[in-house]
Structure formats: C-alpha cells, structure tokens
Structure 1
Amino acid sequence: MPNNIAPRESETTLAELRGDCAQMAPHWVVPTKVASTPVAPSLIHGVTVPPASARLIDAMAEYGD
C-alpha cells in the first residue's frame, strides 16, 4: 500500500460480524477431544512479534475490550 493512502476503516460493525459468525457456526466442525500437552515455561523463549502484527492487534482493541 503506498504511503500516501490512509488505511480504510472497516465498514462491518461488531453486530454484523457476530451475525456472520452465528450463521457460520453450524458449518464448523468441533473436535470431540482436543489433546494438548502443557509446555514448561522454561522451554518458551525467543518469541518475537513483528511491528506490523503488533499494530494490527492494537488496532483491533475495540473487539476485545
């Protein structure tokens, strides 16, 4: 995207987004059991978040608040 063009705000409202999700819910397959193994905190290291991803998440705060 050229620098002289501002990003456009989403035209979808939160209510519309929730409605779309509700329509799709019957189509989603839910696994009967999710097997997950805990990871020791000592094994988690070197996690980095690219600046563009951090900005994307920061811009989505209205959906998470």
Structure 2
Amino acid sequence: MTNLKVHSPAPADPEGDLAALRVDCARMAPHWAAPAHAESRPVPPSLIHGVTVPVRSARLLDAMSDYGD
C-alpha cells in the first residue's frame, strides 16, 4: 500500500510570493540529486530530424513579442 502522507509544515499557498517559493525550493533541494559531472557533446545537425511545429503554434509564437510590451 502506498503511503500518501505529505510532510509539509504548512499548506501550499497558491498566492505565495517569491520569498515563499525560495523557502520551498531550499527545503526540497536536499531531495534532488545532481550528477557530479554531466558531459554534453555537440549533436551534428544530421541527427536532428523529425521535429515538426503545427502551423497554429508557429503563428502564435511569431505573434509574440520578443521582450514583452
């Protein structure tokens, strides 16, 4: 059986501010593991294929401002 208890000192505040978010992240950081060293190698363009963007999504993105108005 799954234990559904959540160990949280306070209920989540959907209207929380940045300070509350930072506290939540700091509390969760010990639970996240990061690799000691992640190698990233360039991918040749010949291996990048099969990506399609629907016309409607492309139009939406094209209509968006780059930096906001």
Q: Sort the TM-score into its range (normalised by shorter chain).
A: 0.3 to 0.5
Instruction: Give the helix-richer structure, 1 or 2.
Output: 1
Q: TM-score, normalised by structure 1?
A: 0.44
Bigger relative CO (Cα 8 Å, ≥ 6 apart): 1
The alignment's TM-score, normalised by the length of structure 2, stands at 0.41
